[in-house]
Amino acid sequence: MKINSKIIIILGCVWIVIGLPGFLIYGGLLPDIFIMLGGILWIIIGVFRNKGYFNKNYYMAVFSVIALWGLMLLYIFLFKTNEYLSDTDMFYIFAGLFMLLVISFGRYYIRGHKEFDL
């Protein structure tokens, strides 16, 4: 079953709306900021799926969101914020998810680069 791109965009917007109040009111980085970054990622995927093709702009947009994800993890780890000190398991789950995102989108980029000469 193929998911419609409009549904993906709507799900991304819902994820952003779910993560926004906790981030703005409480200022917590875990897991609210990552829910919002996941929503942005879903919106990017939905927009480019709606266009029907994936080009260099798609990969750069996805890699920029993944870079933001990594920078947030680096900030949390280096400055030992309350999020890291209170819940290290959640931090390492997000770090593992970050690695999976980098590997999966890197593989898609390399495969597309070889096949379609991006």
Q: Is the pLDDT of residue 2 over 80?
A: no
pLDDT of residue 21: 82
Q: Are 83 and 76 within 8 A, CB to CB?
A: yes
CA separation for the pair 109, 88 (Å, rounded): 31
Q: Are 68 and 101 within 8 A, CB to CB?
A: no
What does the longest C-alpha to C-alpha distance in the chain come to? Answer: 46
Q: Per mean pLDDT, which range of 52-56, 80-84, 87-91, 114-118 is the poorest?
A: 114-118
Q: Are 39 and 14 within 8 A, CB to CB?
A: yes
Residue 70, C-beta contacts closer than 8 angstroms, at least 6 positions apart:
98, 102
Task: Please report, to the nearest 10 degrees, the dihedral formed by the alpha carbons of residues 98, 103, 106, 112 taken in order.
Answer: -130
How much is the pTM? Answer: 0.70
Average pLDDT, the chain: 80
CA separation for the pair 101, 96 (Å, rounded): 9
Q: Is the pLDDT of residue 99 over 70?
A: yes
Q: Is the pLDDT of residue 51 over 80?
A: no
Domain boundaries along the sequence of the chain: 5-116
